[in-house]
């Protein structure tokens, strides 16, 4: 641990101790300090720091989430999953928690549970990002059918009024169509991505590599 990191963590924990130290650390400052350790890849220290909080207050989802991340980065998968499932049970609409739990399940090769988790998150909370995450995991396992289904679900959500527009499902669908040999459909998806965000350098580069001239007429509306 660097001197700077020690100083920051000490500062984060110092104020509550002025009021009166307890055998179990205070929740908020300890969670913040543990996250600081994680940010500096000091996950063992983070886990040791936050573990007493989780044991004393198992219903604190932020503490469970932080503890789960600390154990996950040490590859302590059963312990990480237990904590992340506890956090997800209390905060199912938090996509950071959902994605961390999905990463843990993927490392455990529990692909059916990953699919179920992300499908439920995508459907219940109308999260295109959850479907994109599902598609990425499906791609890593060579499951192109599930990948395509997930990307179509993400794109369908993109049609909703007021939804946050993202280009990742269009880019990923273009890549999938390339693998399937459908160049025309791949180009259509890239043009849709260009319609969502014409300034994205990934989209511009992909279109120019296909000989397309960038401009307003190249853009297509998003959607299925």
Q: Whose structure tokens read 């989780």? A: 54
Q: Phi and psi (nearest 5°) for 88?
A: -65, -35
Q: In which element (H, E) is residue 38 found? A: helix 27-39
pLDDT on residue 161:
42
pLDDT on residue 159:
59
pLDDT on residue 157:
87
pLDDT on residue 11:
45
Question: What CATH class is the domain 25-100?
Answer: mainly alpha
| pTM, two decimal places | 0.85
Q: 91-98 long-range CB contacts below 8 Å, 24 or more apart? A: 91/61, 91/65, 92/121, 92/124, 92/125, 93/124, 93/125, 94/61, 94/65, 95/121, 95/125, 95/127, 95/129, 95/130, 96/65, 97/61, 97/65, 98/130
Residue of 168, 166, 132 lying closest to 151 (CA atoms): 132
CB atoms within 10 A of CB 18: 7
| Cβ-proximal residues to 3 (8 Å cutoff; 6+ apart), any chain | none
Residues of the chain with pLDDT under 70: 1-24, 159-164
Largest CA distance in the chain: 68
C-beta separation of 75 from 107 below 8 A: yes
């Amino acid at each position: 641990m660097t001197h700077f990191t020690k100083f920051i963590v000490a500062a984060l924990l110092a104020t509550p101790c002025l009021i009166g130290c307890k055998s179990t650390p205070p929740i908020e400052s300890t969670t913040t300090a543990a996250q600081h350790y994680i940010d500096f890849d000091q996950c063992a220290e983070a886990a040791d720091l936050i573990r007493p909080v989780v044991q004393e207050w198992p219903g604190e989802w932020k503490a469970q989430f932080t503890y789960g991340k600390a154990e996950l980065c040490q590859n302590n998968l059963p312990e990480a999953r237990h904590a992340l499932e506890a956090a997800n049970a209390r905060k199912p609409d938090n996509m950071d928690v959902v994605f961390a739990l999905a990463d843990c399940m993927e490392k455990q090769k529990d692909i059916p549970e990953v699919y179920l988790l992300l499908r439920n998150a995508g459907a219940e909370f109308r999260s295109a990002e959850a479907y994109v995450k599902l598609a990425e995991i499906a791609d890593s396992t060579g499951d192109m059918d599930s990948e395509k289904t997930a990307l179509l679900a993400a794109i369908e959500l993109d049609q909703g009024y007021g939804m946050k527009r993202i280009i990742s499902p269009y880019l990923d669908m273009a890549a999938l169509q390339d693998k399937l040999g459908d160049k025309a459909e791949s180009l259509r998806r890239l043009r849709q991505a260009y319609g969502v965000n014409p300034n994205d350098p990934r989209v511009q580069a992909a279109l120019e590599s296909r000989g397309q001239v960038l401009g307003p007429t190249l853009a297509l509306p998003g959607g299925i």
